[in-house]
Structure 1
Amino acid sequence: MTGFDGALLILVESNGTYGRMLAQRALRGGAQVRLLTRDPRWYGYLAEDGYPALPVNTLDPAAVLDVVAGLRAAHPGPVAVTAGYEPSLATAATVARRLGLPGPDPDAVARAAGKDRMRVALAAAGVRTPRFRIATDAAQVRAAVADLGAPVVVKPVSSGGSVGVRWCPDAATAAAHAGTLLGALDERGAVMPHRVLVEEYLTGREYSVELFDGVAYGVTGKHVTAPPVFIETGHDFPVRQPAAAALAERAARALGVTWGPAHLEVKVDDTGPAIIETNPRLAGGGLTELVEWCTDHDLYGATLARLLGRDGPGAPPARRAGAIRSAVAPHPQRVTRIDAATARHLPRVRQVTVHARPGDRCGGFGDARDRLVTVAAVAPGAAAAAVAAQRGLVAVRVTTTSPEALLPT
């Protein structure tokens, strides 16, 4: 699946992982790409990747619809509309539906991307999730903790990359953290909904399940930092976890997420699997590329094909194993130098992604923005892949300032 000559891919906001990779795949296939964004400065890679950004208020679906309709009218070939940024997924799906373009059900996307709506829908369908409450003020948060029992996890109802997600040992901590989220601005300056999700903290191993058209094609073992934050620091693909895969398929059907890619996160404890997050999109953090290397299946190409109204082949079984390992800044500091040249030439290392540039702040966010560098490796077996990824990570040289050098800023 290689040819997209004459097509136009319109991204309603993006990111440096799956959004950027989808655009690069479209360009390699001969398509044009346009990025609609509130601020082109968020995307320092556009000049390198070779496509323009068009300023538009992407928080306004009507404004996005007007711009996309104009681009479609002016383009002689097929047009695809999607988002490379979690909060814009529902807007992109709505615009595609209004214009009669292929895409997922907008209501299903909104249910899956909204953490509170997802919890309510899955509970109604009898799909296990952590017990939860939705709170709009500190008193409701304290009542939720009393009901659920401490510790709990408090999170915004709309975010990606673990932004704003925090483990809280008691009601006071939970209420204080909720106060930083209710009606606050997200990482891109948009006002977050004035409600939070308070849920029981489940112990156990974490997995993600990758689906296409509602069918699970692989399960990934996840490595995350210890509470109070949950930053993904590693992935192992594939792992055998049929119960997690089956529950993810049930959840996708209950939400209506049965069109194109989906990335569901599952925790398995002594009771069994429970759905933690549902994302109606490709996996980020290099995981989609890892799955492609292990299966020889073009997932980005399959997604583009579906967006253009074509059928895409299902993913074959994994032929080899892959591992990802990431280094995370443990506290606030500033990057002065990252040297990944040695790591890139090590055996079985397929990709080294440097997330921070000299001068960037890192650490202290408590989410994916704290990642410094990620190494992906592929090998015939899982153990060899994990060893290769860890060796690659150790070979990267990172130099940062001390925390004191950042104060004040």
Structure 2
Amino acid sequence: MELYVSSRFVVFIDSPWTGAGQDCARFLLEQGVTPIILASNPAALHPSLLHDYAELAVEIRACDVDSADAIVAFCRELQTQGELVGVTSVYEYYCDMGARVAARLGLAGPDPEAVAICRSKSAMREAMAATPGLNPLFEVAASADEAVEAARAIGFPVVVKPLDLTGSLFVRRCESAEDVAAITGEVMSLGVYLGHTVTPKVIVEECVLGAEYSAEIVHGKVLGLTEKIGSEPPLFLEMGHIFPARLPAGQEQLLVEKAESAVKAIGVTWGPAHVELKLTADGTDARVIEVNGRIAGDRIPEVVRIASGVDMCRLHMTALLGGAPDLTLNCERTAAIHFLMLQASGHIDAIDGVAEAQALEGVHEVHMRPGVQAGITYEANGSNRDRAAWIIAEGADRDEALGRARAAGEKLVFTWSPVAAAQGA
């Protein structure tokens, strides 16, 4: 049975959980282009993804997504059925693979070497090192002893990170040599995590103490800045995002210039990029925390759309299809995302209040993180995966938007029981 509805195709390599893949697919369908998702084991994708793509009538096909040769072979076969317009990924772990395959097939996309640099925190730092003022102090370490020595040279507090994970996994602020040794040992022993091989090294960085923001970028130009709300140390969980960020003109210009210099230094000047930055403690300078060669996660594209009317997923897909995306953006409203955290461990017996939260003024989304539902047993892992739900709301300004999102969050009630009690029931 023929499942394709068009003879023009865009292939996506895997899919993130937070909606960007579905948003891109909707736009392509509107343009008469058939999106196809590749996954190593389609049946193993999260049920929420399977549900959403089934509703869109988007096919998910099996392919070894860790093999460029396998993906190219799939695409060559697809080209016998029609025109292959693009190959890409909006998922952090496969954005570099998407760029590699697109380049091999002569399709539009970012420089694959530049996107690959973004996937390694050490390569990213090295690429930016020639531009003064972008990096904090940093050093790569291959053992706990090396990490402690680096931390002492940089000066406490420091931040220790794995080289190639995402979502703040195993990222820790460390106040002492003991803290550094402990988290470094944990990272070194991971081996494979969430299906991905973890490089047995860490990067030790100067802890930049000011407020955090992200720059949402297309084709090397900053469209706008997002204010980020973080958790308390030692974790670096993202607890909220507000767009547009309201800053003094001097600080806004500083962050824009740093972000655009960062993507230029790395070479991510085609398509979307998401650059995280922090101001120094006195607010007079800034350092780049991370450069991602992809569209922002965490539903940030949705708050940009609500606040400005500009859909970053559509901008990305427009570029992929060979068009020139309109990079002008004006905001008359403010939109905010508020995340709720799961407790450390336990069995979720019930989740109530979703309808009441959705009914509040200005609320656009009340969404459980995929996998969070009544009946599961959960144990926290100290990353963004510990977030239970997100709420998106809009308002006339920052305080109104964030206040509405937090008020909606207060309507959600999670009923827990201890794991032992749940297992003995």
TM-score (norm 2): 0.89
Q: CA deviation at 1:406?
A: 7.8
Q: CA deviation at 1:214?
A: 0.7
Return the alpha-carbon distance in structure 2 between the equivalents of residues 207 and 276 of structure 1: 10
Instruction: Tell me the equivalent position of 1:16.
Output: 17
| Aligned partners of 1:362 and 1:369 also within 8 Å | no
Instruction: Tell me the equivalent position of 1:53.
Output: 60
| Aligned partners of 1:322 and 1:376 also within 8 Å | yes
* C-alpha RMSD of the superposition: 2.1
| Aligned partners of 2:140 and 2:204 also within 8 Å | yes
Return the alpha-carbon distance in structure 2 between the equivalents of residues 100 and 162 of structure 1: 34
Structure 1 residue matching 2:198: 3-state secondary structure: coil
The 5 A counterparts of 1:148-167 are: 148-167=154-173
Runs of 4+ more than 4 Å apart = 403-408
Instruction: Tell me the equivalent position of 1:135.
Output: 141
Structure 2 residue matching 1:74: 3-state secondary structure: coil
Structure 2 residue matching 1:376: 3-state secondary structure: strand
| Aligned partners of 2:301 and 2:311 also within 8 Å | no
Instruction: Tell me the equivalent position of 2:46.
Output: 43
Structure 1 residue aligned with 2:131, among 116, 120, 125?
A: 125
Q: CA deviation at 1:330?
A: 3.4
Distance 1:24 1:357, change over 3 A: farther
Q: Which amino acid aligns with 2:268?
A: V
Instruction: Tell me, yes or no, if structure 1 residue 313 matches structure 2 residue 320.
Output: no
| Aligned partners of 2:160 and 2:173 also within 8 Å | yes
Q: CA deviation at 1:5?
A: 6.4
Return the alpha-carbon distance in structure 2 between the equivalents of residues 362 and 369 of structure 1: 11
Q: CA deviation at 1:103?
A: 0.3
Q: CA deviation at 1:400?
A: 2.6
Instruction: Tell me the equivalent position of 2:74.
Output: 67
Distance 1:108 1:333, change over 3 A: same
Unpaired segments ≥5 residues, structure 2: none
| Aligned partners of 1:163 and 1:367 also within 8 Å | yes
Q: CA deviation at 1:265?
A: 0.5
Distance 1:330 1:297, change over 3 A: same
Distance 1:405 1:42, change over 3 A: farther
| Aligned partners of 2:90 and 2:295 also within 8 Å | no
Structure 2 residue aligned with 1:335, among 341, 345, 348?
A: 348
Matched residues, number:
404
1:115-150 C-alpha deviation (Å, 9 max, x unpaired) = 111111111222422211111122211211121122
Instruction: Tell me the equivalent position of 2:194.
Output: 188
Q: Which amino acid aligns with 1:14?
A: S
Return the alpha-carbon distance in structure 2 between the equivalents of residues 85 and 406 of structure 1: 35
More off after superposition, 203-212 vs 54-63: 54-63
Q: CA deviation at 1:319?
A: 2.0
Structure 2 residue matching 1:278: 3-state secondary structure: strand
Structure 1 residue aligned with 2:368, among 346, 354, 358?
A: 354
| Aligned partners of 1:362 and 1:372 also within 8 Å | no
Q: CA deviation at 1:361?
A: 4.0
The 5 A counterparts of 1:2-401 are: 6-17=7-18, 18-40=20-42, 41-44=44-47, 45-50=49-54, 51-71=58-78, 73-182=79-188, 184-239=190-245, 240=247, 241-269=252-280, 270=282, 271-339=284-352, 340-355=354-369, 356-401=372-417
1:77-132 C-alpha deviation (Å, 9 max, x unpaired) = 34221113212111110100000010000011112232111111111222422211
Structure 2 residue matching 1:124: 3-state secondary structure: coil
Structure 1 residue matching 2:164: 3-state secondary structure: coil
Q: Which amino acid aligns with 2:264?
A: R
Return the alpha-carbon distance in structure 2 between the equivalents of residues 143 and 282 of structure 1: 36
| Aligned partners of 1:86 and 1:159 also within 8 Å | no
TM-score (norm 1): 0.93
Distance 1:161 1:233, change over 3 A: same
Return the alpha-carbon distance in structure 2 between the equivalents of residues 265 and 405 of structure 1: 42
Q: Which amino acid aligns with 1:287?
A: I
| Aligned partners of 1:108 and 1:257 also within 8 Å | yes
Q: Which amino acid aligns with 1:42?
A: L
Return the alpha-carbon distance in structure 1 between the equivalents of residues 350 and 277 of structure 2: 36
Return the alpha-carbon distance in structure 2 between the equivalents of residues 330 and 25 of structure 1: 37
Structure 2 residue matching 1:290: 3-state secondary structure: helix
Return the alpha-carbon distance in structure 2 between the equivalents of residues 37 and 10 of structure 1: 11
Q: Which amino acid aligns with 1:23?
A: A
Return the alpha-carbon distance in structure 2 between the equivalents of residues 250 and 106 of structure 1: 19
More off after superposition, 164-173 vs 298-307: 164-173
Structure 1 residue matching 2:305: 3-state secondary structure: helix
| Aligned partners of 1:295 and 1:315 also within 8 Å | no
| Aligned partners of 1:46 and 1:52 also within 8 Å | no
Q: Which amino acid aligns with 2:24?
A: L
Distance 1:22 1:159, change over 3 A: farther
Distance 1:318 1:145, change over 3 A: same
Q: Which amino acid aligns with 1:54?
A: R
Unpaired segments ≥5 residues, structure 1: none
Return the alpha-carbon distance in structure 1 between the equivalents of residues 99 and 286 of structure 2: 29
Structure 2 residue matching 1:208: 3-state secondary structure: strand
Distance 1:33 1:187, change over 3 A: farther
Percent identity, aligned pairs only, is: 31
